[in-house]
Structure formats: structure tokens, C-alpha cells
Amino acid sequence: MNTLTPLESLYGLERRAERRDMSLPPLLATLYGRLLFPSYAHRPSVIGNFVSTLDGVVAFNETDHVGGGEISGFNQHDRMVMGLLRAVADVVIVGAGTLRSVPQHRWTAQYIYPALADAYQELRTTLGKAEPPLNVVVTARGELNLGVPVFQSGEVAALIVTTTLGAERIRQQRLPPSVHISEVRNAGGLSAQAILEAISRVRQSDMILVEGGPQLMGDFFAERCLDELFLTLAPQIAGRDENTQRPGFVAGKRFAPEHPLWGTLIGVKRGGSHLFLRYAFETAEHPEMNAKELSA
């Protein structure tokens, strides 16, 4: 039995035109509220999801202390929102480092929050999504263990996006039937755009969810391929010292002060002392997006 209390909506700024209502089932609508997304004629919406401490830490990077659970305090509202975003997604993208940090994981709504499995499945059925989201793992070097459940369980179809060198390394292992490899051979390497193009050849998508890690998120921001970011702000201070690298949700790319990327706040919800923030960002395709248009 689900005992989760509804999130409190503190602020909302959503452009109604050209936004698709996800028509959440009653239980999910009660817990989250109304959920709308941009709708584009020729490409999917691309959204990101991360959880961060108040001081900007998204991973402890310590043995036996990995994954986002300890960042959020294994918060039930955070897991509910993660499940909701996976439930509306056709594709979930993660980097190889993320997979190594949580090797038993499958990127489905039911896996992250089993208590709402029936409601998530009802939502997917309503949206006409017969299959679980395609789980995409991005790796430049091909350093993957194909024995982990995301590849072996048969619960999800999986796509590995990699380089020529990475593909050679991966093919030295036995490839499960539900796993495909997309080899990116262009000079740009594993750019965000190359990843999206590889996905488009395998799965027709209306909604793509990027769950990181920070290097992958940095690429999507750098190429302005991310429409929106869902950011859970957990009320803890993690701290940093000279012995441990603790990244924020973007790594490997620098924007400010020369080229800062500014978001437009379009949603704030609260669950206890956790804040659930939602930002829209200008993309390469829609550089004119601004707060005035969002509120129109």
C-alpha cells in the first residue's frame, strides 16, 4: 500500500501551447500534480534528471557509497519522481560510469519505485508505450561487463553506444540477444548529437531521459541538446576535501563566465525538506525560448 503524501506545488510556469499533457492516472496525479512536456514535430523532447546536495554534490565517489540514493537520503518522493519520468520516457540514457556505480540497476519506473509499479504501467499503457524504455549505455572505451542484469535479465532492450575501439572490446564478450551495439564512427566521437542519432535508428521516441553521469550531462548541455532539467535538491551538506573528488551534475565542460547557460525556472515542488526544481533551457533548435514564451 502506498503511503506517500502528495508533493506540494510552490510555483509553476508552463507554456500551455505546444505542450503535451501526460494525463497521469489518478494516483500519480494526486501525488505529483499535472505534468506537461514540450511537443516537437520532428524530434523528441530531451530531459535530464539529477539529485544534488545543497552544496552541489551528486556522488560521494567512495567505495560502498555510490549512486544517488545516499545523496537524496533514499527519499521516497525523489524515487517517485524518478519513476514518473522513466514511465513517460521512451529511452533512458546513462553513462558507463553510472552503470558501474549501480551494476544491478535497470532503468525502469518499476525498478526505482516498486510501490507504484501498477500506476506507472497504467500510465505507459495510456501513452501507448507497450515496452519498457530502451536502456542506453554510453561508453567510449567499451569497458562494460555484459553480465550485469540490464544486459542479461531480458527485462529491457538495451543499446550500447560506443566508438569503433569500444565496439571491438565489447564484441569480445558474448552479446545477449536483447542488447545491440551502435558504433559511432564520425570524427566528433560520442557527442550528444551522435548519441541521439544512434538512438533514432533503433527506437522511435517522443521523450528521452538523460540520467547522467556528469560527463554525459556536460555534453548534452554543451551541445544545447537538453530541453529541461528536473533537479531534486536534498537538504544535506556533503562537503569536499583534497582527498576526494565529488562532482556536481556537470563535469568535463566549462561554461561560465564566458558562456554561462541560464535556465528558466518553470516548476518548484516540495516534499518535506526536499525541493523538486524544474528548469527549461534554450536548445540549439529553439534558441529563442524565454520566460515570456513559457508563460504565454
* Across 96-100, 216-220, 245-249, 292-296, least confident range: 292-296
pTM value?
A: 0.92
In a domain, 246, yes or no: no
Residue with cell 553480465: 147
Percentage of residues in the chain with pLDDT exceeding 90? 80
Domain containing 195 — which CATH number?
3.40.430.10
Residue 234 pairs in a beta bridge with: 53
Give the DSSP per-residue string, 126-167.
Answer: HTT--SPPEEEEEESS----TTSHHHHSSSS-EEEEE-HHHH
The pLDDT value given to residue 41: 84
Instruction: State the residue range of the domain holding 95.
Output: 31-36+43-237+260-295
Buried b (16+ CB within 10 A) or exposed e, 79-95: bbbbbbbbbbbbbbbbb
Closest among 121, 103, 27, 110 to 67, alpha carbons compared: 103
The pLDDT value given to residue 140: 93
Each residue's pLDDT tens digit, 3-60: 899 999 999 975 555 678 999 999 999 999 999 998 888 899 999 999 999 999 998 8
Each residue's pLDDT tens digit, 213-271: 999 999 999 999 999 999 999 999 999 888 888 889 999 999 999 999 999 999 999 99
- Centre a 10 Å sphere on the Cβ of residue 125 and count the other Cβ atoms it contains: 11
In a domain, 23, yes or no: no
Q: Is the pLDDT of residue 288 over 60?
A: no
d(CA 148, CA 282): 36
Q: pLDDT tier at 286 (50, 70, 90 boundaries)?
A: low
- Work out how many domains the chain is built from and give that number: 1
In a domain, 196, yes or no: yes
Output Rg (C-alpha) for the chain, integer angstroms: 18
CB 243 within 8 Å of CB 129: no
Q: Is the pLDDT of residue 196 over 80?
A: yes
Q: Note if the bond before 132 is cis, omega within 30 degrees.
A: no
In a domain, 140, yes or no: yes
In a domain, 7, yes or no: no
* Across 101-110, 266-275, 277-286, least confident range: 277-286
Mean pLDDT of 130-156: 96
In a domain, 2, yes or no: no
Q: pLDDT tier at 295 (50, 70, 90 boundaries)?
A: very low
Mean pLDDT of 132-156: 96
Phi, psi of 136 (to 5 degrees): -110, 125
In a domain, 10, yes or no: no
Phi, psi of 143 (to 5 degrees): -85, 80
Residue with cell 515496452: 131
In a domain, 20, yes or no: no
Q: Which residues contact 44 (CB under 8 A, 6 or more apart)?
A: 90, 91, 205, 206, 207, 208
